[in-house]
Homo-oligomer: A and B are copies of this chain.
């Protein structure tokens, strides 16, 4: 696990360099088993993260081991692991593209169509598919927000990720590599959508 956290920290530092983790934003987790996962501790600058900046928590977000306070959004990670058994890595970033998109789309869902890169998501093997992402209203009440996310995850099977309004994006995968692949694909598509919105003066 030490080696995987080291690899994870390296990837997080690269994401910081892309500008997706300004200030100390973003949080990242890695499942150990059905009862516990490692998550970045609160207030760490992601440009300098190392394995000791992760803490071990249970599925209710209680600290099991490590120094520091678990991320304020630990409950959202827990809910993803509980609802999606195949997920073993969760990534949450504050990319400018996802933040701006979440402010211009007034609806509670965003529909992505036609991109070859949709194929980065499980169950999609053609650009002719449609990827639907929920956008949740941001909230500081984590138990309440976690409940809303849980309801959506249970009702809409095969969800690829979600946005929090004016906040950022969550994706997950069966391992670090898969979660990263989805994150890159999603931000690429959102970057294209944002540029298209700029040209046409709003979301189409």
Binding site for B on A (CB under 8 A): 14, 18-19, 22-25, 45, 47, 94, 96, 99-100, 103-104, 114-117, 120, 125-128, 138, 140, 164-168, 177, 180-182, 184-185, 187-188, 191-192, 194-202
Residues in chain B near residue A19, CB distance under 8 A: 18, 188
Give the shortest distance, in Å, between A47 (CB) and chain B (any CB): 8
Contact B192 A100 (CB under 8 A): yes
Option from B22, B103, B177 in Cβ contact (under 8 Å) with A117? B22
Option from B47, B103, B184 in Cβ contact (under 8 Å) with A192? B103
Chain A binding surface SS class: helix
Give the shortest distance, in Å, between A146 (CB) and chain B (any CB): 16
Give the shortest distance, in Å, between A43 (CB) and chain B (any CB): 9
Residue ID in chain B nearest A181 by CB atoms: B23
Residues in chain B near residue A165, CB distance under 8 A: 114
Residues in chain B near residue A177, CB distance under 8 A: 45
Of the A-B pairs whose beta carbons lie under 8 Å apart in the complex, a sample of 9, sorted by A's number, is: A22-B184, A22-B188, A23-B188, A99-B115, A99-B192, A115-B166, A116-B164, A127-B138, A200-B201
Residues in chain B near residue A99, CB distance under 8 A: 115, 188, 192
